[in-house]
A = this chain, B = another copy of it.
Amino acid sequence: MPAATSSAPHAGSRPGGRSARVRAAVHRAVEELVAEDANDALTIPVVAARAGVHATTVYRRWGSIGELLADVTTSRFSGGIVVPDTGSLRGDLERYASDLAKDLGDPDTLALVRATIGTGGEQGAAACLGERQHQLEAMLERERARGNPAPTLERTMDAVLAPLYYRAVFTDLPLTAEWTRSLVSHLLPG
């Protein structure tokens, strides 16, 4: 065994490091291509060429363009929005809805969400929601722990999450602060 390989690491000797670099390059390529809003279809060969890696590497790791987009979207959304703790359910939901509106109002995020829905099927749709439902449930549970009544998770999804995603994805209406507050006040009247 040549001495060089045991004393000096070189390209390819740390699979974890190389693997992480490939992942970062492929994710960045997807984000760039989606943001450019090209008329061409987003395919694995197109992504691989932009990332400077072999298409077979991408196929082996992600399987399909849909799974790749779901992975990118999951990464983008994880940790992006934290569950607020303002002391009241109304305060928490208003803060949360406002943060989500800013996120969905970002053109690059919206382009990624649309592309992921388009190619990722059920898995892509789930990636676009991320931890939203668990986060809502955490806020509702905390309100109940304070001894107050709280709406069901289903009702909160219908009244707050649904209009935010619907307005962002399907319409060109703005997600204003006044409007997001109105969603919460219809859910929690009085």
Contact = CB atoms under 8 A, between A and B. Distances in A.
A27 to B, nearest CB: 18
Given A114-B117, A118-B115, A118-B117, A125 B39 contact: no
16 contacts: A39-B63, A41-B41, A41-B42, A41-B43, A41-B119, A43-B43, A114-B117, A116-B118, A117-B117, A117-B118, A154-B179, A157-B163, A158-B159, A158-B183, A162-B165, A163-B166
Nearest to A133: B171
Copies of this subunit: 2
Nearest to A42: B41
A166 B159 contact: no
B114 A170 contact: no
A128 B158 CA distance: 19
A143 to B, nearest CB: 19
Nearest to A69: B118
B41 A128 contact: no
Given A115-B118, A118-B114, A118-B115, A125 B170 contact: yes
A22 interface: no
Interface string A139-158: 00000000000000011011
A118 B118 contact: yes
Interface string A86-114: 00000000000000000000000000001
B42 A64 contact: no
Q: Which of A42, A119, A186 has the most CB of B within 10 A?
A: A119
